[in-house]
Structure 1
Amino acid sequence: MAQSYQNQLSGTFVSEEWNSGLLTQFDPLLVWGSRIVSNRSYEGDIRQRGDAVHINSLTRPTVGDYKLPEGMTAQRPETVDQLLHITEAKFLQLLVENIERVQVAGAMESPINKEMVRALAREADSFMGRVIAAGATAVPNIKVTAGNAPQALYGAVLDLMLALDSNDIPEGRYVVVSPRVKRYLVEHPSISNAGAYGEAGVTKNGVVARLAGFTVLSTTAMPAGVDIVAGHSDFSTYASQFTGFRQGQSEKYRADYIDNLHLYGGKIVRFPGLDTVKPDHTFDESKPTKGILRASVEWPTS
């Protein structure tokens, strides 16, 4: 419903245009919440903090022996329902003296608004990084010396590849590294010569290179005490919704406001046959997933 504001021209404000501009700037800033690292495969609507959406894990069918006269017995696909709770609610509010003027001028491109979008993305990405690291299986620390850092870190990535291979984790994997790991890893010829390194647009979502079946990403939003995380997007879900821009007259200032609420949550996804199922047919979420691995690096002290 249209409202009356001190600035009468604000009635023509189009919130969809601002939402589009926000998402265009927001999504490329994500690493942990990007589709490379986390899936968006959930069902349900997000309207407020405390809502829950549903994730369905498909059980792996049983392979049978074909022999006569028994023939074949068909199996129905079965799923296990998992709930993802929306635990976070962050806001973005802008004060403008003339909504139409700043909208026409491309307000989402202004330096202050870009910084606010970056702050929102940082909050969401740091949250999702903590969720993923907390649910990952820890592997032994990686020890490096001043002279072997590139080779040691490259070897660690290959060890993570082997561990995921052993658990039959599918292709399309990622490895997220801290900036310090990235600094030495890119010295290794296999990284520095990788086709994606230096490619136009490679910095979107923090992508550094593609190597050994991994998309290699880097971010400053690393969880505390974690230097490398490797896994597959099937094993973490990021549910996010911007509620849509509102406009109104500020009670404190001679200006209008525009705001938006970002609701989101994250969850480690479990799979029958790979994760522990409790007697009540729910998953034991106290145990880490085999689909995501995390490691810390022991750096030389001198």
Structure 2
Amino acid sequence: MSVDSFIPELWNAAIIEPYEKSLIYGQGSIASRAYSGNISRVGDTVHLTTLTSPTVKKYTKGQDITIEDLATNTSTLTIDQGSYFAFGVDDLDKLQAAGALQDPATRAASIKLRDSADLYLAGVLKDGAKSSNKLGTLQVVNDDPQRVGTDQTTAFKTLVLLAEKLNSNSVPTTGRYVVVGPKTYSALLMDPRFTRVDASGTSEGLRNGIVGRAVGFDVLVSNNVPTTAQRELAIAGVPDAFAYASQLLNTEALRDPKQFRDIVRGLHAYGATVVRPEGLATADINVVEPAAVARVA
């Protein structure tokens, strides 16, 4: 790669890097990351074992107890995804940049790898939820909740319905999250039940995608939410419902034997699977303007 824009003028040594997207679906608060250390190459298979729950029986004094054999269920996590970057940096470009051009370029490439994985993870979560936990398409009003019209609902009530789906499956309340898109988050901000600190449970700003708490969920916003015809899919769940294994297998720099430049390249291997479909719930959100109804007093 030759950065022609560096020639022949003087340029600032500080190279402006691209905006960084946060890794949302792959962070530990959303996916179990216990298996990443087992990866050595693309194509590896990780076997995941879950244990059935023991049966609780009524005890009668003087009677023998029954010993139960617990069963295990095995699923596989296949590391079938791989992505890489490889670019060249001319020696002249590095000199004119007054620094190592490959450093910010490598960081930018790593961001792209992470973003690519996050899009893949969103798709796995979308398809993996239990069918009865999918709310379908909801018309969510992007305005004051009092202006909701017929066949419309609020973003806040959508969170309530997602929580209800998880509650009906006895999903633990600890560690619950919901990831929403930017338009859904905008609709949430219209609702005072979400924006009040005493209701949301936090006054912190954006941190790793977290924008607040509501209805027992850590609420995260992501630009990588699955979309269909401008609708955004909200995904709720708990970390042990979803497993993600990832490894940056190689990052290396080497000299190009044919030119005066460095070659920098890296390989990322990863895979994901839904372990407990009942631990996920989704809502297909169509953010709309309020219907033509009189304002509720």
TM-score, normalised by the number of residues in structure 2: 0.74
The residue matched to 1:299 in structure 2 has which SS?
A: strand
Tell me how far 1:236 sits from its aligned partner: 1.0
Q: Is the 8 A contact 1:41 1:55 kept in 2?
A: no
1:93-242 to 2 correspondence within 5 Å? 93-96=86-89, 110=104, 112-136=105-129, 137=131, 138-145=134-141, 147-148=143-144, 152-171=154-173, 172-194=175-197, 197-199=202-204, 202-204=206-208, 206-225=209-228, 226-242=232-248
Q: Is the 8 A contact 2:237 2:279 kept in 1?
A: yes
CA distance in 1, matches of 2:72, 2:35: 13
The residue matched to 2:288 in structure 1 has which SS?
A: coil
- The unaligned stretches of length 5 or more in structure 2 are 1-19, 147-152, 291-297
Greater strand content: 2
CA distance in 2, matches of 1:216, 1:134: 20
- The unaligned stretches of length 5 or more in structure 1 are 1-25, 271-288
Instruction: Provide, for residues 44-74 of structure 1, a one-character-per-residue CA deviation record: whole Å limited to 9, x for no partner.
Output: 7322222111111121111121122235445
CA distance in 2, matches of 1:213, 1:79: 31
Out of 259, 265, 268, the position equivalent to 1:262 is 268
CA distance in 1, matches of 2:63, 2:255: 75
Tell me how far 1:75 sits from its aligned partner: 4.5
The residue matched to 2:107 in structure 1 has which SS?
A: helix
Tell me how far 1:212 sits from its aligned partner: 1.9
Q: Is the 8 A contact 2:183 2:287 kept in 1?
A: no
Higher-Rg structure is 2
AA in 2 matched with 1:229: I
Out of 274, 277, 283, the position equivalent to 1:295 is 283
AA in 1 matched with 2:119: S
CA distance in 1, matches of 2:253, 2:108: 20
Percent identity between the two aligned chains? 27
Quickly say closer, same or farther: Cα 1:68–1:252, change in 2 above 3 A: farther
Quickly say closer, same or farther: Cα 1:179–1:76, change in 2 above 3 A: same
Q: Is the 8 A contact 1:175 1:230 kept in 2?
A: yes
CA distance in 2, matches of 1:108, 1:213: 44
The residue matched to 1:113 in structure 2 has which SS?
A: helix
Tell me how far 1:152 sits from its aligned partner: 0.8
AA in 2 matched with 1:58: L
CA distance in 1, matches of 2:32, 2:251: 25
AA in 1 matched with 2:137: N
Quote the RMSD (CA, aligned, Å).
3.0
The residue matched to 2:218 in structure 1 has which SS?
A: strand
CA distance in 2, matches of 1:237, 1:82: 11
Tell me how far 1:76 sits from its aligned partner: 5.5
Pairs aligned (count): 252
Tell me how far 1:228 sits from its aligned partner: 1.0
Quickly say closer, same or farther: Cα 1:181–1:249, change in 2 above 3 A: same
Q: Is the 8 A contact 1:42 1:239 kept in 2?
A: yes
AA in 2 matched with 1:257: I
CA distance in 1, matches of 2:36, 2:155: 39
